[in-house]
Amino acid sequence: MKKFVFVILAAVATACGGHAATGNDTTGNGTDSTTDTATVQYTLHEDIAQMLMVGFRGQTVDSLVARDVRDLKVGGVILFEYDAPSGTRKRNVANPEQVRRLCADLQALAPGRLLIGIDQEGGNVSRLRTAYGFDANRSAKATASDGDDTVRRYARLCAEQLQRLGINLNFAPCADVDAVPPCPVIGGMERSFGTDAGRVAECCRIWIDEQSKCGVMSCLKHFPGHGSAKGDTHKGLVDVSATWRRSELEPYRRLIADGRVPMVMTAHVVNRNTDPAGLPASLSAATVSLLRDTLGFDGLIITDDMAMGAITANYGYAEAIAMAIEAGADMLCLSNNGSHYDPDLAPRTVALIEQLVAQGKVSEAKIHRAAERIRHFKGKLQ
């Protein structure tokens, strides 16, 4: 396996409020010279909770999210501006000071380091909107067309803002290569840096470096490539087998080889080029093997949102959760922001996975390895 360095330079981080990593040698196996999670014993219950990245309602910490973070010890939470079940805005986000307080209160509750994630790509996918007083931003396509300096400027603005707010994980940059005609939810929304895989890789490199300097973990998405999809996986399964090009792997190949990628999100697309069985990539052991074994990725793998139509319309919840874990996902993205909201989603999912383990449908060893990897990477953040 390849070793990679999650670079957070202390000297540069000073410009982002003084954040610097506690260590910078990460191998993905849970041990290094600065962090040795193997010396601490965790229960199956605790390790399952670490695998959950959960969405919640509210702009302040209430008893339910406190339960999930403090008592259940979930691995992370994800913030949204729009609440899809109710069709209302300002779900977790009202203004910069409110978000800063929310993140600080969440971290104060967490027994260990909590991942606080958000989708802040710029342009159409921005949970931190300028209308609420957050920094101006531009789409990936717009910045890339203006050159590296513009890409770097907006990546730095985003990273510095996230650092000030206490958000330590951004589900960005988008590593999808734009196809012609464009995918309606990728190229059509200007989320891709362009049609050239090499250019996409370079823009992603800039984003990862700028976020890393500010102590913000980057998550490349959507593996193995969503830019050639003709449909929207929020609504249902999309098959890219006939339109996908192998060059869509190139941004991942280059950045993983350079040791720059801490996290990758798998897509819900069907791609028979990477999985002849036709499973969505997020549920596909063959696709995860491509990422792990062929490309040599040692970082965290998280699924795309398990509340999206591609999953909910085709798989039962227990079935999808079991398949994702068995495929090799380290974390499950549970936005709780699909067709309905479940205030007990986190404890219900932990209990479900415990039951799946007892039934022999999910490997306990895989859960422990995933949780160990998660804690290892959290140890690289401040």
b vs e for 204-222, b when ≥16 Cβ sit within 10 Å of the residue's Cβ? bbbbbbbbbbbbbbbbbbb
CB-neighbour burial class of residue 101 (10 A; exposed 0-12, middle 13-18, buried 19+): middle
* CA nearest to 213, candidates 19, 22, 380: 19
Query: Could you tell me the two tokens for 98?
Result: 């409110």
Q: Is 234 a catalytic residue?
A: yes
18 in Cβ contact with 162 (< 8 Å): no
Tell me which H or E stretch contains 169.
strand 169-170
- Number of Cβ atoms within 10 Å of the Cβ of 70: 16
- For strand 120-122 and strand 125-126, is the pairing parallel, antiparallel, or unpaired? antiparallel
Among candidate residues 178, 209, 304, 305, the one labeled active-site is 304
Q: Is 340 a catalytic residue?
A: no
Distance from chain centroid for Cα 281: 15
**What CA–CA distance (Å, rounded) separates 331 from 297?**
15
**What CA–CA distance (Å, rounded) separates 302 from 3?**
19
Query: Could you tell me the two tokens for 15?
Result: 């410009």
Length of the chain (residues): 382
Q: Classify 152 as helix, strand or coil.
A: helix
Among candidate residues 148, 234, 258, 368, the one labeled active-site is 234
Query: Could you tell me the two tokens for 184?
Result: 């309606």
Would you name the residues annotated as active-site residues? Answer: 234, 304
